[in-house]
Amino acid sequence: MTKLIKRITAPVLSLVFLLNMSSAGMAETTVSAEVGFIFNTLLFLICGFLVMFMAAGFAMLESGMVTSKSVSVICAKNIGLYAISGIMFWLVGYNLAYGIPEGGYIGTFMPWSDASAIDTGYSDGSDWFFQMVFCATTVSICSGAMAERVKLWPFFLFAAILAGVIYPIVMGWQWGGGWLASLGFSDFAGSTLVHSTGGAAALAGIIVLGARSGRFDNKGQALPIKPFAASSIPLVTIGVFILWLGWFGFNGGSQLALGTFADAVAISTIFINTNLAACGGVLAAAILTRLMFGKTDVVQMLNGAIGGLVAITAEPLAPSPFAAILIGAVGGMIVIFGTKILFNFKLDDVVGAIPAHLFAGIWGTLAVPLTNADASFSAQLIGVLSINIFVFVVAYVIWFFMKNTFGIRVSKEAETKGTDVTETGVIAYAIRD
């Protein structure tokens, strides 16, 4: 009997001990500086490679949206711009953003170097990587909008300038503690800093570049879609789902910490609101296209998801779930009306990047005060106007200069044959349009 009691008592005592330890741990709301450093670094690295995976999403989305004779070039552009963004953000971009004086306008033209210390809260390398993939995302937005008629190497040159100079400057204005941060401008994960920046640069590019040959008639109406049919809608769909997945790293990682109970709860809330906003964008686009055109446009549904994601990115923490759905739904509707506006001005955005990123990004940034009492509409408006005007003007000047020097557009013959033949010499599909 004694042996039996001992056998029962030992596990019970162990269980009680573990429960006491667990409850004591649960009572702790903070961890040691070193453990916090590890958790925060891990957050940056995991969320960073999720955002990096968005590069695959953009490549798939764009490859599916262009005609089959221009798919290889899209693949070359996307892997090329990622490589260029990585090097340029190391060479000069990071310190242009984070070397900025408090309340200032521009940082220093110096390569990044590791200065990790326990009191920084995370490793410098993890922060560099996390911020670099944001930079690459910004450049990716331009790729699809200008597809099928832009030369590859002029695009690479612009990608280097956008990644190394333009984006880091506007990034530093807020995230680097620059003048917009001092003004009170709020952009949690980059509705304007990332998405509108990429969209404004793309808008300048398509204006200077012009539409694809035969895309519009003399009245500005889009011609029958057949000559410009997407090569693979399933590929577009997979690309959007990958972007949706990557967005959890995009927004969740922007909490910038995972060392406390509050941080963990906040990241969970961000995940929920990010997901619901995308859902709202999809359904709004589905309903609206059905009402407007009598058919449910799957391409607009896919872009509606992106519009919803872009819209919530400026403030994914403060809204309630219902508010997140509404913010995303408005983003999805903006995509549809924005596409129509571009058509009216004979502006050829092949993948719908400008409505989804620029227009929805503006909406999301201006909507921040609706759910975040600490934000002001005036500061948000100043931030939106200053960033988009700066990026558009600089990008326009660069594209215009390149157009009038060495040229940015392929020949008419190249457009007809397809840029796969003339730019890469690699045919993506054996069956051609």
Which tens digit of pLDDT belongs to each residue from 375-409?
A: 999 999 999 999 999 999 999 999 999 999 999 99
Q: What 3-state class would DSSP assign to 222? A: strand
Q: Output phi, psi for 222, to 5 deg.
A: -65, 135
Whether 14 is covered by a domain: the verdict is no
Altogether, the residues listed in the chain come to a count of 433
Whether 347 is covered by a domain: the verdict is yes
- What is the count of structural domains for the chain? 1
pLDDT of amino acid 157: 98
Whether 146 is covered by a domain: the verdict is yes
Q: Output phi, psi for 102, to 5 deg.
A: -55, 125
Structure tokens at 419: 């840029």
Whether 431 is covered by a domain: the verdict is no
Whether 265 is covered by a domain: the verdict is yes
pLDDT of amino acid 7: 54
Q: How far apart are CA 195 and CA 307, in angstroms?
A: 10
The sign of the CA dihedral 131, 134, 138, 143 is positive
Q: How far apart are CA 41 and CA 50, in angstroms?
A: 14
CATH of the domain at 364: 1.10.3430.10
> What is the four-CA torsion angle of 109, 115, 119, 123, rounded to 10 degrees?
100
Structure tokens at 403: 């157009």
pLDDT of amino acid 28: 45
pLDDT of amino acid 432: 53
Whether 239 is covered by a domain: the verdict is yes
pLDDT of amino acid 15: 39
The residue segments making up the domain with residue 390 are: 32-424
Whether 432 is covered by a domain: the verdict is no
Segments in the chain below pLDDT 50:
4-5, 8, 11-28, 433
In tens, the pLDDT along 315-337 reads: 999 999 999 999 999 999 999 99
Buried b (16+ CB within 10 A) or exposed e, 137-175: bbbbbbbbbbbbbbbbebbebbbbbbbbbbbbbbbbbbb
In tens, the pLDDT along 27-51 reads: 345 678 889 999 999 999 999 999 9
pLDDT of amino acid 13: 43
Whether 361 is covered by a domain: the verdict is yes
